[in-house]
Copies of this chain bind each other. A is one copy, B any other.
Amino acid sequence: MDTVAALDVGGTTIKAALLDTRLGVLAERQVPTARGADGTALAEQVTALVRELGGTTSVRAAGVVVPGIVDEQARVARFSANLDWRDVPFGELLEARLGLPVAFGHDVSAGGLAEFRVGAGQGCVDAAFVAVGTGIAAALLLDGRIRRAHGLAGEIGHIDVGHRARCGCGAVGCLEAIASASAIARNYAERAGRDVDGAQPVLELARDGDALAAAVVSEAVDGLVHGLRTLVTLLGPEAVVLGGGLFAAGEFVVAPVRERLAASLTFQRMPDLRVAKLGPEAGRLGAGLLALDLLGQRL
């Protein structure tokens, strides 16, 4: 049986799966990420993982995605803060060990690919996938393909949406510094004087009528609306797929984003706002799609 290996490599965890050529999951593993600035430790770990997952099937290719700035054509991670990488030619490193064709990509971009091909963005030609998690990034679909500018496109988390807080990147006003899951948790904790475990408890408090939590969520919504308005004005997408845990809260978050975005537009086309369908599997499925594309078996 022909299969591909699909791996979504995060700073702490690898989500790996063996997929059939219809993206069906045949086996999966979740393991801690092997660290190392030159990428060889990870290449060896991934090689062992793919052999173990492959079992008796005929693994034809592997797709690996990571966070950061990834040049998919060159198969080089230019920069990844989470992996502590600079200019790591991971595609080559892995292919040399694995002896299989390797596709190497960016996690959010791959998540967008999966949402556009088999998720909430199916059928779109001009669209965006905005992933709100620890950080915020986007995959941009134009004329039916994801456009990456060698990994430099899509950093919507770092556009200035007009607030005064400083972002981890060093700039003031970044979307990520007010609307990411970590920003929501941090902003609530600072004002309430007590720690919370991520954005979920803040969303629940807001839903239950906690004024402080509601204010923090409302500011996050305003930031997202500012960012989406900019995206819409510059790129004219027909749809925006919203991913990440924040939107698991569904209409409680999406409805105010939709209302305020519509109110902020003048001549622009209001995009169809859709909640992502593939959840945390999107990156791994996208990695599988990259591997299948490499084999010319485009779904």
Contact = CB atoms under 8 A, between A and B. Distances in A.
Contacts of A238: 149
B233 A159 contact: yes
Nearest to A231: B234
Given A147-B142, A147-B143, A230-B234, A268 B162 contact: no
A236 B153 contact: yes
A267 B69 CA distance: 10
Contacts of A231: 234
A158 to B, nearest CB: 5
A79 B126 CA distance: 19
- Name the residue in A126, A159, A167, A235 with the highest tally of chain B Cβ atoms < 10 Å from its Cβ: A235
Interface in A153-210: 153-156, 158-160, 162, 167, 169-171
A15 B140 CA distance: 36
B142 A234 contact: no
A97 interface: no
Contacts of A233: 155-156, 158-159
A162 B160 contact: yes
Contact of A158 (B143, B167, B171, B267): B267
B267 A153 contact: no
Interface of A: 69, 79, 126, 138, 140, 142-143, 145, 147-156, 158-160, 162, 167, 169-171, 226, 229-231, 233-238, 264, 266-269
